[in-house]
Amino acid sequence: MNLTDIPFSFYGSYMSINFQEKETESGLYLNSLRGKSKNHMNVMKFIPLKNNEPVPYQYEADFSKIVLTLPGGEISICFDGDSRIVVKGIGDNVGIRFDTQPVYNFEYNFLLGKKGEEYCLINSYKNLTKFMIYSPKGSVSLNQDIQYDAAGSSEKANNSSIIQVQADGEQFLCIIEDIPTNAAIPDKLEYDFDQIVAESKQSLLDYYSKIPAVEEKYHEALMLAAYTNWSTFVKPEGNLKRYTMYCSNKNFPGAWSWDHCFNALGLAGVDNDLAWDQMAVLFDHQDELGQIPGSVSDSTIRWNFAKPPVHGYFFGKMMEKMPFTEEQMKLTYQYIEKQINFYLKYKDSNQDGICEYHHGNDSGQDNSTVFSQPVVVNSPDLTAFIIKGMDLLASLAEKFNNKDQQRYWIEKADKLNELFIDYFIEDGLPVAKRMLNDEIIESNAVLPFVSLILGKRLPDQIRQKMIEVITSERFLTNWGIATEAIDSSDYEADAYWRGPIWAPSTLLFVEALKDCGKHEIAGDIAERFCEMARLNGFPENYEATTGRALRDKSFTWTASTFVHFVSQYK
């Protein structure tokens, strides 16, 4: 496993390890996955030692352990559950240093405990976390050079704080433990490293075994997808009331408020309880107005951006893959009713019946060329998501035998659908417009075509014309649907939503095509995506013309989309 691209972690943990390529500081690092650590995730660097001196090493990693090979010795690393990392060293005079790289002048660590039983608390203020290091076999020491500002400033400083673990004979064993609050003391336990590795491996296999069988050529990719998702779950702490799948263990420590829908759909029919929790975790923070946060983690809640209201659509898709309890259906109705009413009241500032995106980030397709100018935008995909939410409410009201609410939401959806066609359709195709003057926004982005999710609510001629455009050579490559037409002057190979193929837009189009009765085309696009993922892994996005992995190389909604597709299209 390439630890530069794919962090090493464990189900439920707020810690990960990856290899970072830097000019002078390349090496293996422990990272904090706390949301509050997003701007500085590094906790410390691992530095293998021989005779008390740093030595070069090679690493090999799989999903359950990392092995560092160095002159005259070996250091192995694995997770013991979600809160401990076990580091085992073998070889004469082999040891390890943990360079905690403090940032602030008052940031330093503490050597504690009885003589001969010392342990360290890492006070990692740079990312607002604490950890403990102790050694059931071997010794722990602390060497610090701290230039403390006696005046009491919070300035940064070029300080040093290094923890060292040395072997007892030809072996050492040390524990790195996550401390969620202020302090801890070492547990005096027996650690069987091989048994711990076996238990870690089994935990992943138990998760993997729930996924439906796939073609043999996808077995390896499916295991990587399972690991990508399994290892990004964090346990309930702080703001999180449920086990929550983060977007990424590299750059996005949190659940963003449309990413979680794709992860939930990937889990539906695999682990229905976890699938439900992935949807509910954002709605745990739905405010009195009906909005849900743009993202949530154990220690952060961000309200600046709303993300698109895809939730009614996704609850409906999940119901096609898994049963909902009566209580879950009632909660779903409450969630979506509040969300739809929020948009109708607070996202239609000129009260023309068309809801608006205030910022590109609200659409999920942040820098789409629809948002080339900093103006408020009426985009057809947003209205389509709201209509689908209304359709879900009508469907649920029917299940509850509430004829009045069923009729109410059918009428609301039908009326908004008529307005959608009158307002957004120009020359038979959907376009985005400026909210203030209804001027058409000139763009070759795929975003307006996401409104194909309306399926057979769209008139046949419009629906067919939209399908012809997105499946033409302007958008459809050997790998899937580009987010900007590849013949556009604004197309760029690696420019986020101005060209690359993304899992979420791909899934939305595949599901939309199915709803339009175009199962063969849908299956073809899903298969292209699966083949691209098989060859190039599960990054944040892919270069549209080559399928090359771009940006964050280990991203959960990409893995979840693969799981959703590969278990259907065999």
- How close are the terminal C-alpha atoms of the chain, in Å? 27
Report yes or no on 300 lying in a domain.
Answer: no
- At residue 570, the pLDDT reads 64
**480-512 pLDDT, tens per residue?**
999 999 999 999 999 999 999 999 999 999 999
Asked whether the beta carbons of 98 and 166 are under 8 A apart, the reply is no
376 located within any domain:
no
Task: Say if 149 falls within a structural domain.
Answer: yes
Please report where in the chains the tokens 């947003």 appear, as a residue: 382
With the C-alpha atoms ordered 181, 182, 185, 191, is the resulting torsion angle positive or negative? positive
Tokens of 366: 């942040």
What digits encode the pLDDT tens for the residues 257-289?
999 999 999 999 999 999 999 999 999 999 999
Alpha carbons 466 and 470: distance in angstroms, whole number: 6
Does 23 score more than 80 pLDDT?
no
Please indicate, yes or no, if residue 480 is contained in any of the structural domains.
Answer: no
- The mean pLDDT of the chain is 97
Distance of CA 269 to the CA centre of its chain: 20
Which helix (H) or strand (E) segment holds residue 45: the answer is strand 42-50
In Å, how far are 217, 365, 372, 508 from 498, measured between CA atoms? 31, 9, 10, 17
29-43 pLDDT per residue, tens: 999 999 999 999 999
Domain contains 509: no
pLDDT at res. 154 = 80
Give me the number of domains the chain comprises.
Answer: 1
Region 226-235: mean pLDDT is 99
Range of the domain at 134: 15-184
Angle between helices 519-536 and 556-566 (to 10 degrees): 130
46 assigned to some structural domain: yes
CATH number at residue 117: 2.70.98
What whole-number distance in Å separates Cα of residue 337 and Cα of residue 330?
A: 11
Would you say residue 233 has pLDDT above 80? yes
Cα(474)–Cα(1) distance, rounded to whole angstroms? 36
pLDDT in tens, 416-449: 999 999 999 999 999 999 999 999 999 999 999 9
Please check whether residue 472 lies inside any domain of the structure: no
Residue 364, pLDDT > 70, answer: yes
The residues with which 164 forms a beta bridge, in sequence order, are 97, 141
Q: How confident is the model at residue 127 (pLDDT cuts 50, 70, 90)?
A: very high
Mean predicted confidence (pLDDT) in 281-302: 98
Residue 502 located in a structural domain: no
